[in-house]
Amino acid sequence: MEKGSLRYWALEYVRHCEGEAYIKLPPVIVINMLDFAYIRLEDFHTSFHIYEDRNKDYRLTDILEMHYIEMVKWRKVRDKDLNEPLHRWMVYFDELSGREEIEEVVKMDRGIGAVQEKMDMILRDPGLLHAYEMHEMARIDFKLGLQGARQEGRQEGRQEEKVGIARNLKAMGIGLEQISRATGLSVEEITRLEGAEDRGLNP
């Protein structure tokens, strides 16, 4: 998971490098939203930077910043506080949040409200929604093609990669049918992933 995150960070960072002086390059922030437990810490939100080994308070640069947000841990938080911006975003992104909860955070948070307006615009425009879905499917297919080519002949590795991609896409809220088309896993296999995670198994 962390290697995939670093790869996405590197691709985005390199995209800005061409023709730019290093001093002008902006920080690249990666946010991983997971629907399963991954980081071996209790907090639902963890963040990582580059620090000096013996002087843990000395950060080399802010150019790399990586966040992990784990929904299964968030749902166990007892004292949710909507006065906290991150908690409002968590309510908005959590597929288990009720409609009234989402409406409340949309009203409270200007940033969330702006996102909701864009989502409503996409949903009202069938052509725009279709174009967005096609773009996402093409992007996923392209990345899967690259990964599959690199791991040709390693069946077990490919299967584990498909499972990992399926988990990530599921955490992003992608539909089961789309995940199935993108990974080659059946809908039944994808559905079993969540149950296996809950039982502490590695499907």
Domain assignment present for residue 121? The answer is no
Domain assignment present for residue 140? The answer is no
Q: What is the mean pLDDT of residues 165-194?
A: 79
Say what the pLDDT of residue 199 is: 47
Phi/psi at 29 (5° precision)? -110, 125
Instruction: Using the 3D structure, point to which of 36, 56, 77 is the last residue of a domain.
Output: 77
For residue 2, give its domain range.
1-77
64-100 pLDDT, tens digit each: 999 999 999 999 998 899 999 999 999 999 989 999 9
Domain assignment present for residue 130? The answer is no
Global pTM reads 0.58
Domain assignment present for residue 98? The answer is no
Say what the pLDDT of residue 89 is: 95
Asked if pLDDT for residue 198 goes beyond 50, the answer is no
| Structure-block tokens of residue 52 | 């000096």
| Structure-block tokens of residue 174 | 């992608």
Instruction: Using the 3D structure, point to which of 56, 77, 98 is the last residue of a domain.
Output: 77
Domain assignment present for residue 137? The answer is no
Domain assignment present for residue 132? The answer is no
Domain assignment present for residue 72? The answer is yes
Q: How far apart are CA 203 and CA 189, in angstroms?
A: 9
Phi/psi at 56 (5° precision)? -65, -20
Q: How far apart are CA 189 and CA 169, in angstroms?
A: 14
Asked if pLDDT for residue 23 goes beyond 80, the answer is no
Count of domains observed in the chain: 2
Domain assignment present for residue 190? The answer is yes
SS (H, E, C) the chain: CHHHHHHHHHHHHHHHHCCCCHHHCCCEEEEEEECCCCCCCCCCEEEEEEECCCCCCCEEEEEEEEEEEEHHHHCCCCCCCCCCHHHHHHHHHCCCCCHHHHHHHHHHCHHHHHHHHHHHHHHHCHHHHHHHHHHHHHHHHHHHHHHHHHCCCCHHHHHHHHHHHHHHHHHCCCCHHHHHHHHCCCHHHHHHHHHHHHCCCCC
Instruction: Using the 3D structure, point to which of 77, 107, 136 is the last residue of a domain.
Output: 77
